[in-house]
Amino acid sequence: MTGGGNIFGEVFRVATWGESHGTAVGVVVDGCPAGIHLTREHIQKELDRRKPGASDITSARRESDEVEILSGVFRGRTLGTPISMMVRNRDVDSTPYEKFREIPRPGQADLTYEMKYGIRDYRGGGRASGRETVARVAAGAIAKRILSVHSIEILGHVIEIGGIHARELSFDEIRKNAERNAVRCADLEAAAEMESRIKEVKAAGDSVGGIVEVIALNVPPGLGEPVFDKLDADIAKAMMSIGAVKAVEIGAGFKSVRMLGSEMNDEFFITEGKVRTKTNNAGGILGGISTGEPIICRIAVKPTPSISKQQRSINMRSMEEVNIKIDGRHDPCICPRIVPVAEAMLAIVITDHLLRSKISRL
C-alpha cells in the first residue's frame, strides 16, 4: 500500500507504527470481521513467543511486552471496527547507540534511512529495529483466531542454522517439538547442535544465519488471486518484508530448478471424494491459487548484522573511513525469534485471501 509502506493487506489490513526506543510500538488492524472471540491473552501468548530474554541465545533486552487492546473488541468479541493494540517500550538504553549517530553499522538500515529521509531515530535502530515485529505478531494473533474458526493451522520451525540441518519431519513432530527448545527446531538432536553452534559463534563476537519453514495446514482450495495477487506472491512479499530475510521459496523452491517436468508435476488422484496430489512440490499453490494441500514456505535468514567484531565503516558527517565495534544487546542468531514473526505474516496473508475469496463468486 502507498503511504509510507507501513500498511499490509488488502481486506484484512494491518498498519504498524513505532520506533525501537520511542514511547511504544503498536498496530491497527482494519477489516477484521465482527463476532470473533478475542481476548488479550490470545495476543499476549504470541507476543511471549517473540519476546527477547527468553534464553541465553537471544538478546538480553528485558521487555515484558504487555499488550493493551485499545479498541475494536467489546466483551470478548470483535466489533468489526479497527482493533488498536499497543506495547510500551520499557527497557530502553540508548547510550550504546550514541556513537552510531553518524556512523552507519554495516548490514543495517542506518545509512539507507539517512539517505532516504535525511533524518533518523538512531536509538536502537529506530523504525528499522526488529522491535517493529511486535506489531506484526500482535496482528498475526488476530489472524490466527480467524483461521482457527476455519480450522486452518499455522506451524513454524527452524530447519537449518549455521550449517546444521534438521532431518525431514512430520507435521506432528513439528507441532510437538518445535516449541520445546530455544532454537525452535523440532529435530531435538539437531536443535542441541544448533544451540552449541550459536554459542560458539557468539563467543567469537560473530553471528550466524539459518532457514525457517512456515506451513499452513487445512487451507481450503481456491484462495489467492491470479496474476499479481497470487497467494505465493503475497507470501513472498510478506516474508521478504521481514528484516534479515534474503530469500523465499515455495514448495520445491530452488530444488525445482534441477527437476524434470515429469518429476516436478504433482499428479492428481482422488481420495475420500476429494482431489489430492500424490506429491506436493507445488507447496500447496498452483497458478497462485491454493490447492488444498499444505502450504509450505521456507525463508533464508541472514546472520544478524550486529556483531561485536571490529568492522570498517564511515562517518557520514566527516566522510572519513572509521573502525567500529557494536556492543549493545543482540541476538547471535535471529532465527528462533523469526519463527513467530513468519507465522504471523503467513497467517495475515492467508486471512486476507480467505476474506477476499468470499467475493470471487456471486
Pick 172 or 278: Cβ nearer its own copies: 278
Pick 51 or 230: Cβ nearer its own copies: 230
Pick 177 or 313: Cβ nearer its own copies: 313
Strands 83-88 and 274-277: unpaired
Secondary structure (3-state) at 328: coil
Rounded Cα gap, residues 84 and 67, in angstroms = 10
Pick 45 or 255: Cβ nearer its own copies: 255
Pick 64 or 148: Cβ nearer its own copies: 148
Distances (CA, A) of 18 to 21, 23, 124, 125, 174: 9, 8, 12, 11, 33
Smallest distance, its own copies to C-beta of residue 176, A: 25
Residues with Cβ within 8 Å of 318's Cβ and at least 6 positions away in sequence, in order, are 102
Angle subtended at Cα 101 by Cα 130 and Cα 202, rounded to the nearest 5 degrees: 50
The H or E element that residue 300 is part of is strand 295-301
Smallest distance, its own copies to C-beta of residue 172, A: 26
Smallest distance, its own copies to C-beta of residue 141, A: 16
Smallest distance, its own copies to C-beta of residue 85, A: 10
> Among 112, 93, 96, 158, which Cα is nearest to 340's?
158
Smallest distance, its own copies to C-beta of residue 204, A: 8
Radius of gyration of the chain (CA): 21
| Residue 312, all three cell numbers | 570498517
273 CA to centre of own chain: 36
Smallest distance, its own copies to C-beta of residue 168, A: 18
Pick 175 or 247: Cβ nearer its own copies: 247
End-to-end CA distance of the chain: 27
Rounded Cα gap, residues 281 and 285, in angstroms = 9
Rounded Cα gap, residues 39 and 114, in angstroms = 39
Pick 177 or 351: Cβ nearer its own copies: 351
Smallest distance, its own copies to C-beta of residue 52, A: 18
